[in-house]
Structure 1
Amino acid sequence: MIAEKLHEVEAKIAAAKARRAKDLTDDVTLVAVTKNHDVAAMREAIDAGATQVGENRVQEAQGKHETLDRTVTWHLIGHLQTNKAKQAVKLFDLIHSVDSEHLARAIDKEAAKLNKVQDILVQVNVAKEAQKSGVMEEDLRPLMGLCDALPNVRVLGLMFIAPDYEDRERCRPLFRHMHEIFLAAKDISWKTSNIIYLSMGMSHDYEMAIEEGANIVRVGTAIFGPRQY
């Protein structure tokens, strides 16, 4: 069942890529979001071809990391508290949700202890939602500049979580604007940053996000079904 759903999502990703404008040529990475799903479900998805998994919470990921017995790329897609930076740097290949100087410095400090350069994305709150994490657009450049100067952090792109509008088409202009921000960041000559990823789109809107330029999508429910609480 999970394998079938995974392949359905992959087919929809391919179709969404085909609908893109001609200048949107990036490949799309599917992150299978496994939060609140057990290790058996994760193994089923991985054995069916999933190579990237996404978790929201460090503690949950830690237990799975120890028992999964599969080689995958680990993405932290949920909000990260600075007091969890130490564990996050040990577990995750890419942290999507960096949104403050304080957090960036904490990650840099913990990565230095492991002699690691931690790959990150900067989360942007384009919709200016009070309940959502993410740096405001006007504060993005200073934060990216700071991250670019940290020796044990490398910015690989940007992340965005769209509002949960009933009318999904209301998200399209936000995705489009986020892609413009991504292109502008890509054009800057950074010292260490390599702006290649735009992470946006989840189970309910990933096809639209791809059409508008996303090259990482984070899909859980469409693969695994409703979360197990």
Structure 2
Amino acid sequence: MSIQNNIAIVERNIQTAMRERANISGQALVPVKLIAVTKNHTPAEMQQAIDYGLTTIGENRVQEAVAKYDIFGRKLEYHLLGHLQTNKVKQAVPLFDLIHSLDSEKLARHISRVAGELAKIQPALLEVNVAGEATKQGVSLADVLDFARMVSSLPNLVVAGLMTVAPHFDDPEETRPLFHTLYDKFMELKQACIPNCTMEWLSMGMTNDYSVAIEEGANMVRVGTAIFGARNYDIELTRR
């Protein structure tokens, strides 16, 4: 099946989940932003998605995103999904429209400083380790509110919402309580009306569980394998 057919299936599933969410909440349909996760996928594969109409991509590594930016430029919107090391901030801030993985005060202060040098206001999502997994990045649920207040006090940074990477379960229904919990925290922060804390995006859900995430309130999902198939770990991208 082609990449474009895969995208059509994902989009139908998103629409179905949006309707289910509206039924659950009793509210109007909430649009969901689809991020095509292009980690370890080639420019040729990406072009097929672009030809279909997708313009927002997610990358885990700064260097791979830089190489793809050299090919596609500003025709795409770039999201950083993976952990951001402080030594990559100077490369990341000029490139990424949204950073999903803000998880420490040190990183926040570094991003703020670099963004200030570029006269840029950098939107970022606070990464939350909802399941409390020792192997995952992210702040704890208990610390999210204080962390949001700290980040929002920094110049040149805006807290645009929350993100989580849920544990992988064979049955995606097992992620539902975790997504529900983060939605509640998202609404808590939204209602707190913290300055420079727009709380526009709740980024939850990947290939295995994006429908459940949407049903529990996600308005941004990150889908790679369901669009592009298995990752190609042998690709090599070099800057032109």
Regarding TM over 0.5, the answer is yes
Q: 2:19, 2:29 within 8 Å by CA — same for their partners in 1? A: no
In structure 2, which of residues 58, 67, 72 is the aligned counterpart of residue 54 of structure 1?
58
Describe how 1:176-195 pairs up with structure 2 within 5 A: 176-195=180-199
Q: What do the CA deviations read for 1:153-190 (whole angstroms, capped 9, x no partner)?
A: 01110001111122322111111111101100100121
Following superposition, the deviation at residue 9 of structure 1 comes to 0.5
Deviations 1:50-102 (A, max 9, x none): 12100000000000100125611110011111111111101100000001101
- What is the 5 A alignment of 1:72-221? 72-221=76-225
Kindly provide the amino acid, as one letter, of the partner of residue 11 in structure 1. R
Indicate if the aligned counterparts of 1:43 and 1:68 stay in contact, CA closer than 8 A.
no
Q: Identity over the aligned pairs, expressed in percent?
A: 50
Higher mean alpha-carbon deviation, 133-142 vs 68-77, is at 68-77
Matches within 5 A, 1:17-36: 17-20=18-21, 21=24, 22-23=26-27, 25-36=29-40
Scaled by the length of structure 2, what TM-score is found? Answer: 0.93
- Look up the match of 2:15: 14
Q: 17-26 or 95-104, which moves further after superposition?
A: 17-26
- What do you get for the CA RMSD once the two structures are aligned? 1.1
1:226 corresponds to 2:230: yes
Q: Aligned letter for 1:98? A: L
1:25, CA displacement in angstroms?
Answer: 3.6
Which residue of structure 1 aligns with residue 6 of structure 2? Answer: 5
Contact 2:36 2:223 survives alignment (8 Å): yes
Cα distance in 2, alignment partners of residues 69 and 151 from structure 1: 27
The code of the aligned residue for 1:53 comes to I
Letter in 2 for 1:224: F
Runs of 4+ that moved beyond 6 A: none
Structure 2: how far apart are the matches of 1:63 and 1:137? 35
Please give the secondary structure, in 2, of the residue aligned with 1:158.
strand
Structure-2 separation of matches of 1:206 and 1:121: 18
**Higher mean displacement: 69-78 or 57-66:** 69-78
Structure 1: segments with no counterpart, 5+ residues:
none
Unpaired stretches in structure 2, ≥5 consecutive residues: 234-240
- Cα distance in 2, alignment partners of residues 126 and 140 from structure 1: 10
- Rounded Cα–Cα distance in structure 1 between residues aligned with 2:27 and 2:179: 16
Alpha-carbon displacement from aligned partner over 1:111-152 (angstroms, at most 9, x marks no partner): 011100001000000100000001001111121111111111
CA contact (8 A) 1:32 1:52 kept: yes
